[in-house]
Amino acid sequence: MPKPLFPVWQKRLTLIAALGLALTGMGQMPIFSRYYIADLPGLGWLGNYQITAALHLALGAALVFLLTSYAASWLAAGAARPTLTTAGKWRVALYGAVALTGVVRVLQNGSWAMVGPMNVRYLDWLHLALAMGLLVFAMAAGRKGAVAARR
Amino acid sequence: MNRRAFLKSLGTAMAAAPVAAPLLARDAAAASGEQLATLFDLSKCIGCGACVAACRAAHAADYPNPQKPFPKMYPERAKVEDFSDKRDVDDRLTPYNWLFIQTVTVTRNGKAISLNIPRRCMHCVHPPCAELCPWGSAVRHDDGAVAIDANICLGGAKCRDVCPWHIPQRQTGVGLYLDLLPAFAGNGVMYKCDRCHGRVAAGGKPACIEACPNDVQTIGPRREIIAAAHDLARQTGGFLYGETENGGTNTLYVSPIPFEELHAALQPSPGNPGLQAAADVMGKEKNLATAVLLAPLAGIAAGILRVANRARKAAKEDDHA
């Protein structure tokens, strides 16, 4: 029997990266220090923007790598391509949009700015709203399969 | 493709990041000459304060008018920062004073020498305040001026924390946070010099430059200003600050005294920035940012390799059958 196109370990890595990104993304706002969370033993790093920003980028690179590898495998699979469920389509849309807005923000900080200075706020707000949407989706339908079982 | 090979391709992409970094040359915009920079010839400054007065007059309408009493904030760690009763303070940066003059006296060759140093935002080429603001309220305009939009700033002060000189100053009791969750999030608005972005966009000059009786400060395309700063330093045997600090700024100082000595004499404190050798805050993240941009290529390659391997294995199994 062939191994599944999307192995369990890759899904687990994706979950770890997404949870880490959610935590370090929240850390971009000045809340962990204000609410004493960074005072807890072992969590001091959550109040350090240099650390959370670096981790957010590193985890972002990992997530983009995993997402694009899913997409490439799915597209290249041809007739063996699994069918996406409704939950799977939502997952693709939300993960894809969060990753895309994140990559555009990285480009914005480099020398390929795509967004005017006074519109960067909309990019940031969209990225935040999509991340919150992904969180709501994960709580509501996170355990539903992304691909339909093959008959 | 197995787990090890998959992770190896991710590792290869991460390792390639430094090699690809020039593709994302961070100083391209600055080198293009689009950004404007200013040059302070500190040997000319007599500390008359005309620039400070002009700045206050030009920005009087931009200063905060907080309503008291301020909303109670929770938890107690969130402290009120209020300069509304100290609007006349002009010996440090405040929400009502975006430019001030430091006077430093150092001893060189047995002689005491005093120097006046106008201080305000350095307008970095890659400003951490703008690039790390999670709310998009701090921005770098195309002309190189870095500004904070008081209409949407929530006053979290991250910009001040990440700024090597801790320039932005907070006023509690104003701004958007009052309309959101004033007790639990935000704490006012951050204020700092915007290098008179509106005046410059309209073809004028920053108020401080126009008001200076000694032509201490000049403004022009960054490349020309850097060349002028080097010329001035060479002609006067002076020292340069701002070209490389924090990865490069759009504010350059030329001083007859080394900046290490000035910094040692300054004794920096809140609202009173130093002149230290500031490391490039955003440059530390350059390789990671490049890895994010290369990750899709590595991911696509890994995905295709996986499908190809599966096809090869399936063909081999068919041959054996």
CA-to-CA distance for A56 and A28, rounded, in angstroms? 9
- At A142 the pLDDT is 81
Tokens representing B247 are 């990865």
Residue A70 lies in a domain: no
- At A144 the pLDDT is 84
- Tell me: do A35 and A95 sit in the same domain: no
pLDDT for residue B19 is more than 50: no
Q: Which residues contact B135 (CB under 8 A, 6 or more apart)?
A: A29, A121, A124, A125, B152, B153, B154, B156
Least CB–CB distance from A58: residue in B75, B157, B288? B288
Least CB–CB distance from A106: residue in B284, B289, B303? B289
- At B28 the pLDDT is 45
Q: What is the pLDDT of residues B139-178, one digit of tens each?
A: 999 999 999 999 999 999 999 999 999 999 999 999 999 9
- At B320 the pLDDT is 72
- At B38 the pLDDT is 98
Tokens 């770890």 identify what position? Answer: A16
CA-to-CA distance for B209 and B220, rounded, in angstroms? 12
Q: What's the predicted TM-score (pTM) here?
A: 0.89
CA-to-CA distance for A18 and B82, rounded, in angstroms? 39
Which segment of A78-82, A88-92, B194-198, B242-246 scores lowest on mean pLDDT? A78-82
Residue A130 lies in a domain: yes
Q: Which residues contact B308 (CB under 8 A, 6 or more apart)?
A: A76
- Tell me: do A126 and A89 sit in the same domain: yes
Q: What is the pLDDT of residues B51-69, one digit of tens each?
A: 999 999 999 999 999 989 9
- At A1 the pLDDT is 58
Name chain A contacts of B292, Cβ cutoff 8 Å: 57, 60-61, 64, 102-103, 106
Residue of B84, B37, B80 whose CA lies nearest to B200: B37
Q: With cut-offs at 50, 70 and 90, classify the pLDDT of residue B4.
A: low
Q: With cut-offs at 50, 70 and 90, classify the pLDDT of residue B310.
A: confident
Q: With cut-offs at 50, 70 and 90, classify the pLDDT of residue B14.
A: low
Q: With cut-offs at 50, 70 and 90, classify the pLDDT of residue B3.
A: low
Residue A110 lies in a domain: yes
Residue A141 lies in a domain: yes
Q: In the predicted model, what is the mean pLDDT of residues B104-124?
A: 94
Percent of chain B with pLDDT over 70: 89
Cα–Cα distances in angstroms (integers) from residue A129 to residues A22, A30, B276, in the given order: 12, 17, 39
H runs (alpha helix) in chain B: 3-20, 28-31, 50-58, 128-131, 158-162, 197-201, 207-211, 222-236, 259-266, 286-320
Buried b / exposed e along A42-79 (16+ C-beta atoms within 10 A): eeeebbbbeebbbbbbbbbbbbbbbbbbbbbbbebbee
The alpha-carbon gap from A67 to the nearest alpha carbon of chain B, in Å, equals 7
Residue A16 lies in a domain: yes
Contact B291, A57 (CB under 8 A): yes
Residue of B209, B148, B293 whose CA lies nearest to A109: B293
Percent of chain A with pLDDT over 90: 76
Q: What is the pLDDT of residues B206-223, one digit of tens each?
A: 999 999 999 999 999 999
Are residues A65 and B152, on separate chains, in Cβ contact within 8 Å?
Answer: no
Name chain A contacts of B131, Cβ cutoff 8 Å: 109
- Tell me: do A50 and A86 sit in the same domain: no
Please indicate whether residue A32 or residue B25 has the higher confidence score (pLDDT).
A32
Residue of B59, B40, B28, B210 whose CA lies nearest to B126: B28
CA-to-CA distance for B11 and B274, rounded, in angstroms? 40
Task: Write the DSSP symbol of residue B170.
Answer: E
Least CB–CB distance from A36: residue in B75, B293, B298? B75
pLDDT for residue B314 is more than 90: no
Query: Number of structural domains, chain A?
Result: 2
pLDDT for residue B6 is more than 60: no
- Domain, as residue range, for A144: 82-150
Least CB–CB distance from A49: residue in B25, B158, B301? B158
Are residues B303 and A112, on separate chains, in Cβ contact within 8 Å?
Answer: no
Contact B86, B71 (CB under 8 A): no
- Tell me: do A5 and A57 sit in the same domain: yes
Residue A73 lies in a domain: no
Distance of alpha carbon B277 from the chain centroid = 15
Main-chain dihedrals φ then ψ at residue B240, nearest 5 degrees: -115, 140
Residue A71 lies in a domain: no
Q: With cut-offs at 50, 70 and 90, classify the pLDDT of residue B284.
A: confident
Tokens representing B139 are 């921005």
CA angle A54, B148, A55 (to 5 degrees): 5
- At A80 the pLDDT is 78
DSSP symbols for A83-97:
PB-HHHHHHHHHHHH
Q: How many CB atoms lie within 10 A of CB B315?
A: 9
pLDDT for residue B22 is more than 50: no
Name chain A contacts of B282, Cβ cutoff 8 Å: 109
Asked whether the CA dihedral B110, B112, B113, B119 is positive or negative, the reply is positive
pLDDT for residue B25 is more than 50: no
Q: Which residues contact B219 (CB under 8 A, 6 or more apart)?
A: B36, B37, B38, B39, B200, B205, B206, B209, B225
CA-to-CA distance for B219 and B50, rounded, in angstroms? 17
